Chains A and B, each alone.
Chain A
Amino acid sequence: MKVLASTALAALMAAGPAGPALADIKIGSTLAMTGPASFLGDPEAKTLEMLVEEVNAAGGINGEMIELIQYDDGADPNKARTFAVRLIEDDEVVAIIGGSTTGTTLALMPEVDAAGIPFISLAGSISIIDPVEPYTFKTPHTDRMACQKVFEDMQKRGISKIGMISGTGGFGASMRKQCLEVASDYGIDVIADESYGPKDADMTPQLTNIKATDGIEAVLNPGFGQGPAIVTRNYSQLGIDLPLYQSHGVASQGFIDLAGNEAAEGVRLPGTALLVADILPADDPQTEIVRAYKTAFEQKYEMPVSTFGGYAHDAFRILVAAIEKAGSSDPEAIRDAIEETSGLVGTTGTYTFSADDHLGLDLSAFKMLEINNGGWTLVD
């Protein structure tokens, strides 16, 4: 029995954290590599993997190699929380990138906060950085900004009465709420407000109701996954002849493929420079970085680059820059350095953090895109 116990103990110890490898910087991530948000988590995880290889091949950060520890939380908040504890307590990472969704991000925030580990989220909701929590940052635009960008464009076109059809998943529901809040700032009236479930196969009833509402001038569809593609197809099936706006949640070539060129024609959405890398003016500050990432990713994985992978790209760049600047892998020093990030150009926009802004992007980073002939064009 005694032998057994000591063997078990030894085995457990061996399974625990390996001896301190002082030369390495351990970075953790927990992403929705599988599950309902895998189209976010998958490119995010691949991006991190690729960039870590790149940085290590170029000699690491201040001569130290990066070790990336990735976990798949399947978009389950409880799992994300557990992996956060594992990363912090067991793997002893110095920083965490992750939380593909708002739910997973909010779930693990109390943990990073208690442990004092800097954390960069890849999720959309404004509730992640408002109010500002000391250790939490994020790279994607907030859903509120997406609403503002869309409404700005509607205002320019003289649209004032719109219908909304939102997904009931986290992304759609959160963006719907933000849009309803800021609509009046742009003189926009939401006169039809429908929704659909994340697995729904047909949205014609909701769209029929929107179509039948008098005075509607445009329709906005906050949501991600297959829903917006089906909405777009149903929209064209019903012959609705009004401008259709989608959210940044579907800013990828995949969306056009799913909706079909014909149905997607003329759809507008707020997107990032990444989607229009090829037609970006050469003097745009983002052109270089966007093209480099796109080329590398598409070469390595043989799949089109997506906005979401771009969020991970930016988070990693911000983190690396902060570690370099801090000159140490002390979590506290890294956090301070992230907060001092200024003018860092990423695929999503140019980041300037401060003590009361843990997103560091403004509306200018968003580009209003329109789908024409199965490709993206810049509206402004």
Chain B
Amino acid sequence: MKLGSKHTTLLVLAVIIIVAPFFFPSSYYFRVGSLIFINGLAVTGIVILTGYAGQVSLGHAGFAGIGAYACALAPVYLGVHPGLALIIGALLSGAIAFLVGRPILRLKGYYLGVASLGFGILVAMLLTNEAQITGGPDGIRVADLGIRGLLREMGFRVKGSELWYVLTGICLLIGAWLALNLHDSPTGRALRALHGSEVAARTVGVDVARLKLQAFVISAVFASVSGSLLALQNRFITPEVAGFLHSVEMVTMAVLGGVGSVLGAIFGAAILTTLPQVLTVFAEYEYAVLGLVMMLVMIFLRDGLLPSLAKLIKGREQ
């Protein structure tokens, strides 16, 4: 079994998503599960941008913010269905990423980091300051997606958290499928090539600027959809979704789990989403322990949790 091969990854994911609920003692676990899937989706986008193409963004929460607020505002101002608002948000994020990406992606390393950071902060600031439209820092209510009502009419009664577990789980599987498709496709190969050596990629004909932009746009759409799902599930959203800390959280999840592989990054999302829930037993020591865990993982498992563990196991077997 090769880590990261497309069908294995999808199978593992699907099995976990389907089997896990049999062990859930209460519907709170469904809620945590769906948060993992939502974060996992955003992080899968990061895998495309950072893991494949080697570009670091510290502003992707900005796109999550656009997606989230599209779901809050489009139904109110455009009168569209919240589900359609998700798509509007994704298109808008893609378009903005296309416009912003071209100049930003000329920058390298930390300079790209600070430029994307600036973009994210501008989005968060707009959402905070334009209170007449966005509801300001205290947040805004989001319309009901209406699926539960629809199911009830059809005679199925499901709990909100369970429904969202299924919805977000499906979205994650689709996202993972897309990212894995991309990995072995010509585009994915070109992205990984420019990650390995930008100059060599250029000499074999890779239009580096265009490909980076494609990766940026795709990952922006992933982040946007993840933001939309969060807004629709919570039926309430605040500008924190676009904040700097959320951007850093996305990158941390991906890197901690292993940014090179979709499964690794999603694993990272799962760890960092559940950790604060588990760490509540440490009460005020929670943050100290969280920081310590992050450091220890990166010191001793530098390629990320999953790839390092896989290597370790492989080493044992041989």
Question: Does chain A bind chain B?
Answer: yes
Q: For B25, what are the chain A residues with a Cβ–Cβ distance below 8 Å?
A: 12-13, 15-17, 90
Q: For B284, what are the chain A residues with a Cβ–Cβ distance below 8 Å?
A: 33-34, 72
Given A77-B240, A81-B234: A169 in contact with B161 (beta carbons within 8 A): no
Binds A, one of B27-35, B76-84, B177-185, B251-259: B27-35
A16-B286 in contact (CB<8A): no
B28-A86 in contact (CB<8A): yes
Measured between alpha carbons, how far is A86 from B29 in the docked complex, in Å? 8
Known: A72-B284, A72-B286, A170-B138. 5 other contacts (CB 8 A): A78-B230, A85-B31, A86-B277, A169-B137, A170-B136
Q: How many A-B residue pairs have CB under 8 A?
A: 94
Given A8-B23, A82-B35, A168-B128: A90 in contact with B236 (beta carbons within 8 A): no
Measured between alpha carbons, how far is A173 from B286 in the docked complex, in Å? 31
A106-B139 in contact (CB<8A): yes
A173-B139 in contact (CB<8A): no
Residue on B with the closest CB to A128?
Answer: B138
Measured between alpha carbons, how far is A93 from B48 in the docked complex, in Å? 42
Question: In terms of DSSP, what is the predominant structure of the interface of chain A?
Answer: helix
Q: For B109, what are the chain A residues with a Cβ–Cβ distance below 8 Å?
A: none
Q: For B31, what are the chain A residues with a Cβ–Cβ distance below 8 Å?
A: 82, 85-86, 89
B138-A110 in contact (CB<8A): no
Q: Would you give the shortest CB distance from A84 to chain B, in whole angstroms?
A: 9
Contact mask A175-189 → B, CB, 8 Å, 1/0? Answer: 001000000000000
A72-B280 in contact (CB<8A): yes
Residue on B with the closest CB to A87?
Answer: B28
Please tell me if A102 contacts chain B, counting CB pairs below 8 Å: yes
Measured between alpha carbons, how far is A366 from B17 in the docked complex, in Å? 53
Given A17-B26, A77-B238, A81-B234: A168 in contact with B137 (beta carbons within 8 A): yes
Given A77-B238, A85-B31, A103-B238: A170 in contact with B230 (beta carbons within 8 A): no
Q: Which residue from A72, A85, A114, A127 sits with its C-beta under 8 Å from B138?
A: A127
A173-B236 in contact (CB<8A): no
A16-B26 in contact (CB<8A): yes
B230-A85 in contact (CB<8A): no
A77-B236 in contact (CB<8A): yes
- Please give the number of chain A residues whose Cβ is less than 8 angstroms from any Cβ of chain B in the complex: 37
A103-B280 in contact (CB<8A): no
Contact mask A1-33 → B, CB, 8 Å, 1/0? Answer: 000000011001101110000000000000001
- How many chain B residues sit at the interface, stated as a range, is 35 or more
Q: For B141, what are the chain A residues with a Cβ–Cβ distance below 8 Å?
A: 106
Measured between alpha carbons, how far is A8 from B230 in the docked complex, in Å? 29
Contact mask B35-51 → A, CB, 8 Å, 1/0? Answer: 10000000000000000
Contact mask B200-240 → A, CB, 8 Å, 1/0? Answer: 00000000000000000000000000000010001111101
Q: For B276, what are the chain A residues with a Cβ–Cβ distance below 8 Å?
A: 79
Q: Would you give the shortest CB distance from B297 to chain A, in whole angstroms?
A: 21
Given A13-B25, A110-B235, A168-B137: A78 in contact with B161 (beta carbons within 8 A): no
Please tell me if A125 contacts chain B, counting CB pairs below 8 Å: yes
A103-B240 in contact (CB<8A): yes
Residue on A with the closest CB to B280?
Answer: A71
Residue on A with the closest CB to B160?
Answer: A114
Measured between alpha carbons, how far is A159 from B280 in the docked complex, in Å? 50
- Using a CB-CB cutoff of 8 Å, which residues 118-134 of chain B contact chain A? 128-129, 131
Q: For B29, what are the chain A residues with a Cβ–Cβ distance below 8 Å?
A: 90
Q: Would you give the shortest CB distance from B123 to chain A, in whole angstroms?
A: 15
Contact mask A82-117 → B, CB, 8 Å, 1/0? Answer: 100110111000000000001100110110001000
- Using a CB-CB cutoff of 8 Å, which residues 239-257 of chain B contact chain A? 240-241
Q: Would you give the shortest CB distance from B124 to chain A, in whole angstroms?
A: 11
Given A13-B25, A16-B25, A86-B28: A107 in contact with B238 (beta carbons within 8 A): yes
Q: Would you give the shortest CB distance from B314 to chain A, in whole angstroms?
A: 20
- Using a CB-CB cutoff of 8 Å, which residues 134-166 of chain A contact chain B? none
Q: Would you give the shortest CB distance from A73 to chain B, in whole angstroms?
A: 9
Please tell me if A329 contacts chain B, counting CB pairs below 8 Å: no
Residue on B with the closest CB to A101?
Answer: B138
Q: For B137, what are the chain A residues with a Cβ–Cβ distance below 8 Å?
A: 103, 168-170, 173-174
Q: Which residue from A34, A71, A76, A168 sits with its C-beta under 8 Å from B240?
A: A76
Residue on B with the closest CB to A177?
Answer: B131
Please tell me if B110 contacts chain A, counting CB pairs below 8 Å: no
